[in-house]
Amino acid sequence: MAETTLDLRHLPKRDAYATLRENCVEVLRGVNDDVTKMATLSCLVHHAFCHLWTGFYRVVEPGALLRVGPYQGTLGCLEIAFGRGVCGAAAATGVTQVVPDVHAFPGHIACDGRSRSEIVVPVRDAAGTLLAVFDVDSEHPAAFDDDDRDGLERLLAAVFAGG
């Protein structure tokens, strides 16, 4: 399976996400286990772009609490309340948060001091229930844009909501 962990940094972002989505759907074909899906996406997204931190915070108390799930990177904080930091904002609003400068985001939680920008995408199942948020951090300022938002939202929908 080593060849399925692709480095996609040489491609324009939209092409990279299209390739990544195909790869993830193929690798996870027939899998019906959210932890397996989260671990696999963390790995493939992280290595596709060489991010700083890539992973999931799961909803463990709907409307109240997120707890860390599968991820790649340095130690992530274990629990985040809805509404706190970027992950908590994504969970509370249900809207993807693109943060070009984490230091300018009120309440940002600094798990890794090297983080400069981040994107956090809500993850829903086919019924629309919020399962988790997907958090990607970069050591580069303003690393994420609308192509990342679109690419990650489509990837997560394909894997967790069946399209």
Applying CB under 6 A, among 87, 91, 123, 155 the residue interacting with ligand SME is: 87
Piece in contact with ligand SME (CB under 6 A), picked from 10-18, 36-44, 111-119, 150-158: 111-119
Query: How far apart, in Å, are the Cα atoms of 146 and each of 1, 24, 66, 100, 124?
Result: 31, 21, 25, 12, 19
Contacts of 63 (CB under 8 A, 6+ apart): 82
Give the three-class secondary structure for 37: helix
Applying CB under 6 A, among 70, 85, 122, 151 the residue interacting with ligand SME is: 85
Applying CB under 6 A, among 42, 108, 119, 151 the residue interacting with ligand SME is: 108
Query: Does 65 contact ligand SME by CB under 6 A?
Result: no
- The site for ligand SME, by CB under 6 A, has a size of 14
Place of tokens 């984490």: 102
- Using only C-alpha atoms, the chain has a radius of gyration, in whole angstroms, of 14
Applying CB under 6 A, among 43, 45, 86, 91 the residue interacting with ligand SME is: 86
Strand arrangement, sheet containing 79-81: 79-81, 65-72, 53-61, 130-138, 117-124, 97-99
Applying CB under 6 A, among 21, 24, 48, 53 the residue interacting with ligand SME is: 53
Closest CA to 80 of 54, 102, 58: 58
Min CB(89)–ligand SME separation in Å: 7
Where on the phi/psi map is residue 63: left (φ > 0), alpha (ψ -120 to 50), or beta?
A: left
Query: Does 111 contact ligand SME by CB under 6 A?
Result: yes
Query: Does 76 contact ligand SME by CB under 6 A?
Result: yes
Residues that bind ligand SME (CB under 6 A): 53, 76-77, 80, 85-87, 108-109, 111, 115, 118, 135, 137
